Amino acid sequence: MSSLKETLRKKIEEHRPRTARLIKEFGDVKIGEVTIGQAIGGARGVKCLVTDVSYLDPYEGIRFRGRTIPETFADLPAVKGQAYPSVESFFYYLMTGDIPTAKQANEVVEEFKKRRALPQYVIDILRAAPTDTHPMTLFSQGILAMQRESVFVKRYNEGMNKFDYWEPMYEDVLNLMPKLPVLAAYIYRMKYKADIHIPSDPDLDLGGNFAHQMGIAPPYDDVARMYFILHSDHESGNVSAHTTHLVASALSDAYYSLSAGINGLAGPLHGLANQEVLSWTMKFMDSLGGQEPTEEVISKALWDTLNSGQVIPGYGHAVLRKTDPRYESQREFCLKNLPDYPLFKVISMIYKVAPGVLQEHGKAKNPWPNVDAQSGVIQWYYGLTEWDFYTVLFGIGRALGVLTNITWDRALGYPIERPKSVTTAMLEEFAGIKK
Ligand code: HAX
């Protein structure tokens, strides 16, 4: 058995009594109340999900298993000769909460390599889709197509003890995760690179092989590692994480669950915002007709967007109340690696202007940028200019977090999710305005 699975088993066995005790002895303890505003308003701030994989503080930002982004990058073993850790070492960390040794991380690298080949039937399905199909649709379809391989379904149909559910879920997760970058690279090259494909390189880790199969030279491999880790998890309430968890709660397997989560990520208020940021910025640049952007014209363009009833993509957040540390981390990368790049300068100018515009507009509770405001510039700089593809990159990263979560959901025996709804008339009764 691999060291990851062994460690995970130990952690699960240690954790189970904590969850069981909380339900049995303290199940009636209140952790919050729900208002009418929250019931109508997308359950904002309602505490009704449990995860130990990450926690999002409105003012501090995300912590993965208790570590901030800089701490995570500093503490995980970096890939030899590179600035960032391998995605595989991060996956070990997310799953177990332990920083892996170089040997343990390498075991995951090798395990992922064994499982990453994309079945031919997935390729056939992708190729059968109309050529204008969005890359996110293809990505979701590719994941769903592989559902027939689910180990969980096979074991469930054979008859399995509830306490053993996590093991076949883990197997599905380990089969699915390494295939995602390969699937993504296939979609990318089929759509945008004359359908010419690059075979995977058996010497490379997930990030390295992704860059290689995309056909983008180093240091894009390190960019991919950074990007996937940064986008992995943002606690459980965001649409992609919540959807994946919700679908898995019906004992749907990892393929069904992740495909559903990816569909949620494809919404413009969620992951697709990274595509929207680039398309907004490029339209804005085009409108300048070659003139240098100034803060005044940026401000006008932002107001035009707001006045036409649209959102400023890449700004605002349902939980955060400051600049997203994932934005800051990518900004630092840009300041170090592409400080004079014209597009980065425009994005920096927007950062200077947009929070003030949004404050003056007076609606958004958080006028600061989120992860999506900065990520496209880096991709563009390294030659990935097809912005329709950006959310697929997000999807690979997000899979790390949500697949870890659903493994733990099965380990801790979380039940089928089923909140209660009320009618508008009932709310009027609660409010005391109904006769
Ligand atoms: N531009 C214009 N208006 C905005 C805004 C923005 N960037 N952010 C919020 N608002 C508006 C809302 O639309 C809402 O308006 P109404 O009262 O008319 O409905 C009002 O301000 C209050 O919203 P909020 O409470 O501050 O924000 P929500 O929790 O409702 O929504 C969103 C959070 C991220 C969806 C929102 O800020 C938004 O639409 N941002 C732009 C899209 C975006 O960048 N999405 C990516 C978010 C990060 C993420 O999930 N990445 O995957």
Cα separation, 11 vs 9, in Å, equals 5
Do residues 406 and 366 share a domain? no
Q: Is residue 59 part of a domain?
A: no
Yes or no: say if 312 and 269 are a contact pair by the CB < 8 Å rule: no
Instruction: Give me ligand 1 centre to Cα 411, in Å.
Output: 34
Ligand 1 contacts CB of residue 275 (under 6 A): no
Ligand 1 contacts CB of residue 365 (under 6 A): yes
**What tens digit of pLDDT does each residue of 68-107 get?**
999 999 999 988 899 999 999 999 999 999 999 999 999 9
- Nearest atom in ligand 1 to the alpha carbon of residue 306 is 2
- Cα separations (Å) of 44 from 56, 306, 432? 13, 23, 23
The question of whether 212 is a catalytic residue gets the answer no
Ligand 1 contacts CB of residue 370 (under 6 A): yes
**What tens digit of pLDDT does each residue of 415-424 get?**
999 999 999 9
Do residues 212 and 261 share a domain? yes
Res 409 pLDDT > 80: yes
Query: What is the DSSP secondary structure assignment for residue 54, as one 8-state letter?
Result: E
Do residues 199 and 133 share a domain? yes
Q: Rounded to 5 degrees, what are φ and ψ at 322? A: -160, 175
3-state secondary structure of 24: helix
Q: Is residue 390 part of a domain?
A: no
Q: Rounded to 5 degrees, what are φ and ψ at 63? A: -125, 125
Q: What is the CA radius of gyration of the chain?
A: 22
**Residue 186's closest CA among 251, 120, 246, 250?**
120
What CATH number has the domain bearing residue 113? 1.10.580.10
In this prediction, residue 306 has a pLDDT band, given cuts at 50, 70 and 90, of: very high
Cα separation, 426 vs 423, in Å, equals 5
Ligand 1 contacts CB of residue 238 (under 6 A): yes
Cα separation, 291 vs 298, in Å, equals 12
Chain centre distance of CA 169? 19
Query: In the prediction, which pLDDT does 324 show?
Result: 97
Please state, rounded to an integer, the average pLDDT across all residues of the chain: 97
Do residues 115 and 153 share a domain? yes
Long-range pairs for 300-303: beta carbons < 8 A, 24 or more residues apart: 302/350, 302/353, 302/354, 302/357, 303/357
Do residues 223 and 298 share a domain? no
Ligand 1 contacts CB of residue 315 (under 6 A): yes
Yes or no: say if 221 and 82 are a contact pair by the CB < 8 Å rule: yes
Do residues 95 and 242 share a domain? yes
Supply the residue whose CA is at minimum distance from atom 18 of ligand 1.
363
Ligand 1 contacts CB of residue 317 (under 6 A): yes
Query: In the prediction, which pLDDT does 2 show?
Result: 82
What CATH number has the domain bearing residue 360? 1.10.230.10
**HSE (side-chain half, CA atoms, 13 Å) at 431:** 12
Instruction: Give me ligand 1 centre to Cα 278, in Å.
Output: 17
Query: In the prediction, which pLDDT does 83 show?
Result: 92
Q: Is residue 143 part of a domain?
A: yes
Best probe residue, ligand 1, of 44, 263, 269, 272 (max atoms within 8 Å of C-beta): 269
Average of pLDDT values for 306-333?
97
Do residues 23 and 162 share a domain? no
Do residues 89 and 209 share a domain? yes
Do residues 372 and 343 share a domain? yes
- Cα separations (Å) of 73 from 177, 227, 432? 21, 12, 53
| Two structure tokens written together for 342 | 């014209």
In this prediction, residue 290 has a pLDDT band, given cuts at 50, 70 and 90, of: confident
First to last CA, the chain: 66
- Cα separations (Å) of 387 from 220, 259, 265, 362? 16, 21, 15, 30
Average of pLDDT values for 145-159?
98
Do residues 207 and 262 share a domain? yes
Ligand 1 contacts CB of residue 357 (under 6 A): no
pTM confidence score:
0.97
Please report which helix (H) or strand (E) contains residue 186, including its range. helix 179-192
Cα separation, 178 vs 108, in Å, equals 10
With 0-12 / 13-18 / 19 or more C-beta atoms within 10 angstroms meaning exposed / middle / buried, residue 23 is exposed
| Two structure tokens written together for 415 | 């039940």
Q: Is residue 27 part of a domain?
A: yes
**What tens digit of pLDDT does each residue of 35-55 get?**
999 999 999 999 999 999 999
**What tens digit of pLDDT does each residue of 332-350 get?**
999 999 999 999 999 999 9
Q: Is residue 11 part of a domain?
A: no
Do residues 424 and 338 share a domain? no
| Percent of all residues in the chain with a pLDDT value above 70, rounded to a whole number | 100
Yes or no: say if 96 and 11 are a contact pair by the CB < 8 Å rule: yes
Domain span at residue 426 reads 17-48+419-431
Instruction: Give me ligand 1 centre to Cα 133, in Å.
Output: 27
In this prediction, residue 1 has a pLDDT band, given cuts at 50, 70 and 90, of: low
**What tens digit of pLDDT does each residue of 4-46 get?**
999 999 999 999 999 999 999 999 999 999 999 999 999 999 9
Q: Is residue 88 part of a domain?
A: yes
Q: Is residue 243 part of a domain?
A: yes
Q: Is residue 66 part of a domain?
A: no
Cα separation, 406 vs 417, in Å, equals 13
Question: What domain count does the chain have?
Answer: 3
**Residue 261's closest CA among 238, 230, 228, 234?**
238
The question of whether 372 is a catalytic residue gets the answer yes
Please report which helix (H) or strand (E) contains residue 61, including its range. strand 61-64
Do residues 155 and 216 share a domain? yes
**What tens digit of pLDDT does each residue of 230-279 get?**
999 999 999 999 999 999 999 999 999 999 999 999 999 999 999 999 99
Determine the Cα angle at 277 with ends 276 and 283, to 5°.
85
**What tens digit of pLDDT does each residue of 181-218 get?**
999 999 999 999 999 999 999 999 999 999 999 999 99
Supply the residue whose CA is at minimum distance from atom 40 of ligand 1.
316
